[in-house]
Structure 1
């Protein structure tokens, strides 16, 4: 049996390109801790960092055939950095937009047509955040909130325990609430997504 721990990162990646999941897992275990610490220093949000690290490793596996990597460590750090920059940029843009919308609502909410437009834009913003959830979490959350399925029904459809489904829904709500936590104006819209099942 080959001991992969003695292989270099680049040798492991060559095995990954041959669909060797054990080599992929070895790379994952070598780098997950340091990449997590690196991203956490920049973002300071555990759940956000966990999602980001998961995205980096999923991309490594799914794009392995088209990636030309000379230095695995440099590639992974660069991927993490780019995703952090993207998230920070999106957060700044979203916060600027939310501040603008909150000001507008506070000063012009008495105008009914404008209020309807405002609410429509808010719903769109929330929908964007829902779509940004990790894939499985988003699927479960949408089945719960849009299809109005119970946790038990979702579990049966997806082959998951009711507890797992409940945890995924709660995690989704926690993520969504954190995006809008300082915005009292948005609580009503978040409430729509958090009605008990």
Structure 2
């Protein structure tokens, strides 16, 4: 069958015509894609996308050239899009690396530390009064459980329970990552 006949059948949803076009052109398109992308998987993916598009748009595509020209142009455009996307990604990664290497990373860290401190303070304020009082004496004033118990006239077990419950609340509210940072930098926050 000629390409013209295959295209006519393809427009009529003929799966056999589609398969014939696929087998006729997939090797050539793959070789071209691989020569440009230098990645076997990526080349096969882009060829598959071209054929998927051909099937999905079979009834609306206007073949002004021949089927091989259409497939080649579609492939070329997709390859150019991939190359442009890779270039943008590369530029972004270079820019990001440059940013991270600058001293402004310290400013960003301080900003995030202040934001985290504010979030922690808000969560501490929301705690029940006695729990908040015990937690602040433990973490801000660095008193032992025994000292807090004596100061407030409660048992050491109650102090321990209040501190543990306060830490559970913070862990839930802050999420695991921020909670770990909170524990590491606890002394710096207060």
TM interval, shorter chain, is 0.5 to 0.7
**TM-score, scaled to structure 1:** 0.53
Partner of 1:143: none
For residues 151-177 of structure 1, the C-alpha deviation after alignment (integer angstroms, 9 at most, x for no partner) is xxxxxxxxxxxxxxxxxxxxxxxxxxx
1:103 is aligned to 2:98? yes
Question: Structure 1's 105 and 76: CA in aligned 2 closer, same or farther, altered over 3 A?
Answer: same
**TM-score, scaled to structure 2:** 0.55
> May I ask how many residue pairs the two structures share in their alignment?
110
The answer for unaligned runs of 5 or more in structure 1 is: 1-6, 117-197
Aligned equivalents of 1:39, 1:52: Cα separation in 2: 7
Aligned equivalents of 1:36, 1:100: Cα separation in 2: 33
| Coordinate RMSD, CA, aligned | 1.7
Q: How does 1:22-41 map to 2 (within 5 A)?
A: 22-41=16-35
Deviation at 1:67, TM superposition (A): 0.2
User: Is the contact between residue 105 and residue 115 of structure 1 (CA under 8 Å) also seen in structure 2?
Assistant: no
Deviation at 1:22, TM superposition (A): 0.8
Runs of 4+ residues over 4 Å off in structure 1: 113-116
Bigger radius of gyration among the two:
2
User: Is the contact between residue 56 and residue 80 of structure 1 (CA under 8 Å) also seen in structure 2?
Assistant: yes
User: Is the contact between residue 36 and residue 49 of structure 1 (CA under 8 Å) also seen in structure 2?
Assistant: yes
SS in 1 for 2:35: helix
Deviation at 1:93, TM superposition (A): 1.2
Question: Structure 1's 113 and 90: CA in aligned 2 closer, same or farther, altered over 3 A?
Answer: farther
The answer for unaligned runs of 5 or more in structure 2 is: 114-190
